[in-house]
Amino acid sequence: MEVRLQKVIAASGLASRRKAEQLITEGRVTVNGQIVRELGSRVDPDRDHVKVDGRHLKAVEPYAYIMLNKPKGIVSSLRDPEGRPTIKDLLHGVRLRMFPVGRLDFDTEGLMLLTNHGQLAQALLHPRYHVAKVYLVKAKGILSDEEIDQLERGITLDDGVTAPASVKKVRKAEENSWLELTIYEGRKHQVKRMFEAVGHPVLKLKRTRFGPLSLGDLPAGEFRFLTDREANALRVILRSKQDGSHAGKADAGPTSASRVRRTARRAS
């Protein structure tokens, strides 16, 4: 697959993206023996021979994908200026340079995806592709049907109205509510802010699905590499971004089942 030349240089670890662009414009980069100065040039790392200052680039790391079950009390970045434990501390034995696709709050647990595939990460986080994120939510008090309808229709927050969501009751409780919430955005503290807006603060929050990935029975604090099937399902999203299609559009909003539930509640 062809990618921009500066990305290939940056991926090799030789230089940052900006420095790679400088190397190109200075005429210090050759592709198959020819000097290339155009920043828009594309190459196939598997076929083309790229040199910088006459030296071959180091082999690019293979793309890798990791699912992590983040526990509470862990920062979802690779380093923390406050010295708190981070997800990097959980990746024992992983030598590849991996980075998280999105984040979870310090006190939120559940599924996180890590990868060294930058284009894929951008596609998964881009708002245009509406990648579904599913959370198990324990909220204070019992939500009424009207409050659930508000969450599904969209909540007005200080940064705008949230996109339509899907809410499903998963457990019965006398004092608190257990719900499954599906959203298609990635605003900061979004789930907590949505529930606070309807008067039911979040007591516990766990992400159980991210796009086509499901947390399953992966223990808290543990990780695993994705299966080929799971990785291919993610690549479908990337291909839809690259060719401008809308593959996977089934995740673009609340399901018809969600709309049926709302209708049934109003009729009851």
- Model confidence pLDDT, tens digit, residues 253-268: 444 334 444 444 443 3
The length of the chain, given as a count of residues? 268
**Do the beta carbons of residue 211 and residue 237 sit within 8 Å?**
yes
Q: Which pLDDT belongs to residue 196? A: 98
Q: Which pLDDT belongs to residue 73? A: 96
Higher-confidence residue: 241 or 254? 241
Q: Which pLDDT belongs to residue 225? A: 97
Residue with tokens 């050759």: 30
> Which listed residue (105, 145, 149, 251) is catalytic?
105
Q: CA 70, 71, 77 angle in degrees (round to 5)?
A: 50
Q: Which pLDDT belongs to residue 118? A: 87
In tens, the pLDDT along 171-215 reads 877 899 999 999 999 899 999 999 999 999 999 999 999 999 999
Rounded-to-integer distance, Cα 242 and Cα 3, Å: 11
Over residues 49-55, mean pLDDT: 93
In tens, the pLDDT along 213-225 reads 999 999 999 999 9
Percent of all residues in the chain with a pLDDT value above 70, rounded to a whole number: 89
Q: Which pLDDT belongs to residue 266? A: 42
Does residue 58 register a pLDDT over 90? Answer: no
Does residue 51 register a pLDDT over 90? Answer: yes
- This prediction has a pTM of 0.73
Percent of all residues in the chain with a pLDDT value above 90, rounded to a whole number: 68
Residue with tokens 């034995």: 93
Q: Which pLDDT belongs to residue 264? A: 41
Respond yes or no: is residue 158 known to be catalytic. Answer: no
Over residues 43-71, mean pLDDT: 88
Averaged pLDDT score across all residues of the chain: 88
In tens, the pLDDT along 108-161 reads 999 999 999 888 998 898 877 789 999 999 999 999 999 999 999 999 999 999
In tens, the pLDDT along 96-111 reads 889 999 999 999 999 9
Q: Which pLDDT belongs to residue 249? A: 42
Model confidence at 170, pLDDT cuts 50, 70, 90, reads very high
Q: Which of 207, 166, 170, 162 is nearest to 67 (CA)?
A: 207
**Do the beta carbons of residue 131 and residue 185 sit within 8 Å?**
no
